[in-house]
Structure 1
Amino acid sequence: MTRSATTTWRRVEVVLAPVLLGLLALAAWEAAVVVLELRPFVVPSPSAIGAELTGNVGIIATAALSTALNAWWGLVIGVVGALVAAAVSAAVRTLDEMSAPLAAAAAVVPIVALAPVLYTMFGANVQTARVAIAAIVSFVPVYVNTLRGLRTVAPVHRDLLRAYAATRRQATLTVTLPGALPFFFSGLRVATSLAVISALVAEYFGGPVDGLGKAITSAVSSSNYPLAWAYVVGAVVVGLLFFCGSSGLERAVLHRRSGR
């Protein structure tokens, strides 16, 4: 087998292996529900969930779009705020020491407690509270990882730039920022998943009657458990799209830099 054929097979294998594993898991799930005669309120069968998913694909897509938009805007606001805060904290160590307790506090604030407060502040008929929650949750991992990356400069690189009389701007562009990129993308991958989860959970506690969180609650309250699980599948798809988007962006940026 040639080298190109081996590379192609490895790429196919990367995609094929998780697909086969997923199909086996679904088959085992279906068999367990049938053999053990599990009731739908315990866990519905994949076939029942699939029937609800195909029969309500438009409604599920609309709810997923609402949740995705809240998560997206929250992610954008959180990431931009985290980058600015990390840059300022890296430049002024006093601000870094002052902001560390605030970042730690933001990381442990429960959405269950925060959502009702924000709904009271911004109103229960707008999406502002959900976007704010997603922004706060997204801020922490990006800020912490980016700040660490900005402070992680190898002494040999610092000494080399000093020997070449490089300016601070040149040192930042050639060493500090490229070195911080992997740290930033590590935080971004975590933030994308947290943004979707936080926007979804925030929908349980108020706000407009749309989004996947409200839809899941409504389906469960009417004892339509397969439909509730179909909405969960929609949430999984949204989370995967966000995660794959961040991973694709990371590969494109890092590959471009390594190719220079």
Structure 2
Amino acid sequence: MREGSLVRTAVAPVLLGIVAVLLWQGAVSALDIKPFILPGPVQIGQQFAANIDNVVAGMAVTGWNALVGLVIGTILGILAAIVAALVRVVDGLAAPIVASLAVVPIVALAPVLYTMFGAGAETARQIVAGLAVFVPVYFNTLKGLRQVRPVHRDLMRSYASTRWQATRTVTLPTALPFVFTGLRIASSLAVISALIAEYFGGPVGGLGRAITSSAASSNYGLAWAYVLGSIILGLVFYCAALGLEKLATRRHGG
């Protein structure tokens, strides 16, 4: 069972990725696709290795902004969901507001935030990442908090438990899988949102600005090397969220 699970979760995706890269390189070589259209994996890998310091520096900037947004957005999303679950009026008032946040375009929001907080500050990028994180965490947590069966609530009342005791022992453990589902979705969104926000101004650092600068100078292999850095960063965030979920689930199960 464990070996089969390992193959499904690790080996199979790696093999699929290797096959996809080989097909990509074969298509680029066989069809003589120009680098400005699509560079091959070999060229991207060479540029990535040759500029590893710059790529890592860009990953550090984007990663920090994404991490700040992820932490703040997750905390606010969970707290808001708890309040909405406890107070139905708040739920009714908050639902359309949170839904509207989900459709706010980063293209329009980022320049406004740069004007508010200054073009030299990373604050705008962190806020964009936080807003992107808040929405899935809020909705998934709220859904999880509503999964408690009435019979379980009645049982806690029969034990004369307080609302906090019922929340701690029944409601939160039931909601935990939903919280981590939102967190896994949000982990990737945080990186994507922080990176996209870098396209529209702000400090020079970050993968987004590096991609646009490289593409503007027609160095497409380098631009794709920064794209590769953003993919790695997104995978790191996702795997960290998945690992945290496994750890929390194991401790709760124990």
Q: TM-score, normalised by structure 2?
A: 0.96
Which residue type is aligned with residue 94 of structure 2? S
Moved more, 132-141 or 149-158: 149-158
In 2: Cα distance, 1:131 partner to 1:43 partner: 31
Partner of 1:214: 209
Query: Shift of residue 159 of structure 1?
Result: 2.3
Identity %, equivalent residues: 56
Which residue type is aligned with residue 80 of structure 1? I
Partner of 2:36: 41
Query: Shift of residue 165 of structure 1?
Result: 2.7
Number of residue pairs matched? 254
Partner of 1:192: 187
In 1: Cα distance, 2:46 partner to 2:175 partner: 46
CA RMSD of aligned residues (A): 1.3
Deviations 1:2-46 (A, max 9, x none): xxxx63465256422222221111111111001101001110011
Matched, 1:30 2:25: yes
- CA separation of 1:252/1:25 partners in 2, compared to 1, >3 Å: closer, same or farther? same
Query: Shift of residue 101 of structure 1?
Result: 1.0
Partner of 1:3: none
1:243 to 207, 221, 238: 238
Unmatched 5+ stretches in structure 1: 1-5
Matched, 1:224 2:239: no
1:52 to 44, 47, 54: 47
Which residue type is aligned with residue 236 of structure 1? I
2:84 to 78, 89, 100: 89
* SS, match of residue 255 in structure 1: helix
- CA separation of 1:94/1:14 partners in 2, compared to 1, >3 Å: closer, same or farther? closer
- CA separation of 1:161/1:69 partners in 2, compared to 1, >3 Å: closer, same or farther? same
Q: TM-score, normalised by structure 1?
A: 0.94
Unmatched 5+ stretches in structure 2: none
